[in-house]
Amino acid sequence: MTRLVNVSNRVAQPRGDTPAGGLAVGVLAALREHGGVWFGWNGRVVSGEPAGPKLEEDGNVTYATIELSERAFELYYNGFSNTSLWPINHYLLGFFRYERREFDEYRRVNSLFARKLIPLLQPDDLIWVHDYHLIPLASELRRAGVENPIGFFLHTPFPAVEALRVLPVYEQLLRAMGAYDVVGFHTPRDLRCFNDALESIGGADHAAVDRRAPGKPHPLHTDVFPIGIDVEGCQQLAMQTGEQDNVQRMVHHLHGRQLLIGVDRLDYSKGLEERFRAFSRLLEDYPAIRNQVSYIQIAPTSRAGVRAYDDIREALERSAGMINGRFADIDWVPIRYLNRGFDRGTLMAFFRETAVGLVTPLRDGMNLVAKEFVAAQDPEDPGMLVLSRLAGAAHELTDAVLVNPYDIDGVAEAMHQALNMPLGERQERHQSMLDVLRRNDITAWRTRFVDALLSAREQRKAG
């Protein structure tokens, strides 16, 4: 019987019957359909040698989790993964740093993942690896003799080769990606960049990449698999939770004003400082809307203890204070900056009450908040999405108000356009975007990728 073995840096175990969203929704649906294992780090850091894997059963899904040592957390996770790969993938080279010892630990942790995973594998398993933390995992599994089909999906952008070359070990990582059977990306641009990178090392025909699989060489299948959302689930959550106390308090304190909302993990790639400046410019250039709009920015902390993330939190707190100090009135606070998270139901209900959703990252692989905002809207009176052209979602949601997040004046103008868009135009744009979301929903994403892995298995058997 074919099982699916999902491998990611962190394991997202659902609370009750509801996963956190995004990746967890699609992966859990695939695991429950096929039965299988979700393997990865449990979030715990230990001073000694990591234990595990610890196994927990939930129906036909097994959660297999391991710990990380303090050294691994600092060098593999905070180090190479998030100060080398993350900024390179998002074209933010000012945040890039490389240290050889961090890359050595990155490879060591991938080897650890492989060693801990191998005893759990069965001959017919399909292995699906997620994201930049685990690029070398297939090479480690192949070196140990694993013949199962292995797929890799990159949830961040894949950078252009000229940005990628900044990384001293980029050729090693490209060759390691060749050990997979299937490699998937969010957008056609990401796929083109990957193929250009392969060509730059003489591997456009995949002859130069890492093919350590036992037996005959196998083809590398690359494709675009844009991740989607559970559209109906978002709509139901938005309607079901609209009567919750915190949602009603939010609506009450608007006092009839139009609401702009942003929901982002606190990260320098999300363009939050630029967005705050654009909102300030909106209030400068269109004084008539002062006291007529309110902006709520929800930005829960991520990667606490990393200097770059501490700096952006402090910068946003200063910016929010300056905006409020300059424009606030006795009965109006222009911007509410909330450095905390909310459950998905509450967010969907917030979205449904919002006139304008602001999703303006400096670069993003997809950005599911953009899709969830659209899905949560009331089709009779939908809010409008202002979306960065540099987010993967812009390839699909072409009827959003698209902006360049570096253009402060342009983003301010887009906010004003969205706030004043006629109802008929909002309805037409919303329906068009909703049709796209339904075609490319979370089920389509995981089904297409699993089908590609099944095809790879048949090719292996035939070849």
Beta bridge partners of 382: none
98 contacts 167 by C-beta, under 8 angstroms: yes
For residue 462, the one-letter residue type is A
What distance lies between CA 377 and its chain's CA centroid?
21
Sheet holding 4-10, edge to edge: 54-58, 61-69, 36-46, 4-10, 126-130, 150-153, 182-185, 221-224
Neighbour count for residue 34 (Cβ, 10 Å): 18
Q: How far apart are the C-alpha atoms of 374 and 397, rounded to whole Å? A: 9
Name the token pair of 300: 């829960």
* Catalytic annotation, pick one of 34, 155, 218, 430: 155
* Beta-sheet pairing, 61-69 with 54-58: antiparallel
What 3-state DSSP class applies to 19? coil
Q: What angle do CA 206, 207, 211 make, to 5 degrees?
A: 85
* Catalytic annotation, pick one of 181, 364, 399, 441: 364
Listed residue (294, 217, 224, 309) closest to 262, CA to CA: 294
Name the token pair of 405: 């997040």
Burial 376-406 (b: 16+ CB within 10 A, else e): bbeeeebbbbbbbebbbbbbbbebbbbbebe
Tell me if residue 34 is catalytic.
Answer: no
Contacts of 5 (CB under 8 A, 6+ apart): 36, 37, 39, 117, 120, 121, 125, 126, 127, 128, 148
Name the token pair of 407: 């253009």
Q: What angle do CA 228, 231, 237 make, to 5 degrees?
A: 125
- How many helices (H) and strands (E) the chain has is answered by 17, 14
Tell me if residue 155 is catalytic.
Answer: yes
Cα dihedral: 284, 289, 294, 297 (round 10): -40
Active site residues: 155, 364
